Amino acid sequence: MKVLLKGIGVLLVLIVALGLFIQLSYQQDFSEEYPVNEDLKVETTAARIALGEYLAYGPAHCATCHVPVDKIAAVEAGEKVAMIGGGELTLPPGILRAPNLTPDPETGIGNLSDEELYRMLRYNIMHDGTTTIELMPFSTMSDEDIYSIIAYLRSQEPVNHEVAASDWTFLGKALKRFVIKPIDDGKSEHPPIEKGASIAYGKYLAESVANCRGCHTERDLKSGAFTGPEYAGGLHFDPSPETQGWAFNTPNLTPCEKTGIMKGWSKEAFVQRIRNGRTQAGSPMPWGTFSRMDSTDLEALWLFLSSLEPIENSIEQIAFAPES
């Protein structure tokens, strides 16, 4: 009994020590590994500003998260709401809040360098050197597209709007300490991708810009790790304030004749479905911004999704109404 009690005591001490270690060290600073290059200066040309605006309110859907919760409906309706931050996402690791992206020096990005913004978009490292959950899958985006987003963000009117920091649960802090690291594809160059109605450009949009893969692939929402075949659907969203109490399973986007949601769709049917926008309240898909994608991008996405290997993965129900 004494040995047992001693063992339990040691275990409790180790648990408390681990908890304290996580609480005190979860905000890891990766600035030494990924230093800021202050020589980077993004030229804010009219062409870059226009492209950045298209990406932010279109396929990259920055505006879906970086606006207050009560303004999301306006974004869905096509209004270009100032990206003053405030959007929230409730996940097991915590309540994540999107920051103010206007060039306000006090509450926005006004005092951040171009390299700090680039580092965030490329490597998922915030200005203080810490990381966050991968919600912006831009690590393989071309430099030109990242520069264009930065140029557009710089061109906005500054809006003073304070956004509270994200609230991390103990699980989230543990993930930040041991699991969540900078995202680095290991490539030193990210050349422009030729825009056009091609499978290659569609893949770029789906994986580097619009994050189709991120939601339409089953994954662990605690760690973010992919656990299922790509684009075959099955990611489950629990009811939350963001989904208005609905629960969702993402559908299978592969061209499977038995279980693919787009089986039998023509290119025209696909484009029209995206153009029609939201039909289901609470759907986590950013329908409003995607509906404003241009015809070339939509055709490229259609060609890419149609080229995928068919994977049989039956998603019997997509939307689950809130419990009364």
CA–CA distance, 13 with 54 (Å, rounded to integer): 54
pLDDT of residue 91: 84
Instruction: Compute the average pLDDT of residues 153-177.
Output: 95
DSSP string, 242-282: GGTT-EEEPPP-S--TTT-TTTT--HHHHHHHHHH---STT
Phi first, then psi, for residue 185 (nearest 5°) are -85, 0
Region label for 61, one of left (φ > 0), alpha (ψ between -120 and 50) or beta (otherwise)? left
The label of the residue with tokens 């920091």 reads: 165
Q: 269-304: per-residue pLDDT in tens?
A: 999 999 999 888 889 999 999 999 999 999 999 999
Specify the range with the lowest mean pLDDT, choosing from 42-56, 158-172, 235-249. 235-249
Residues in contact with 14: Cβ distance below 8 Å, sequence separation at least 6, in sequence order:
none
Q: 179-219: per-residue pLDDT in tens?
A: 999 999 999 899 999 999 999 999 999 999 999 999 999 99
Three-class SS of residue 174?
A: helix
pTM: 0.92
Helix and strand numbers (H, E) in the chain are 12, 6
Q: Residue 305 in contact with residue 269, Cβ under 8 Å?
A: no
Tell me which amino acid residue 193 is.
I
**What's the burial of 314, exposed, middle or buried (CB within 10 Å: 0-12/13-18/19+)?**
exposed
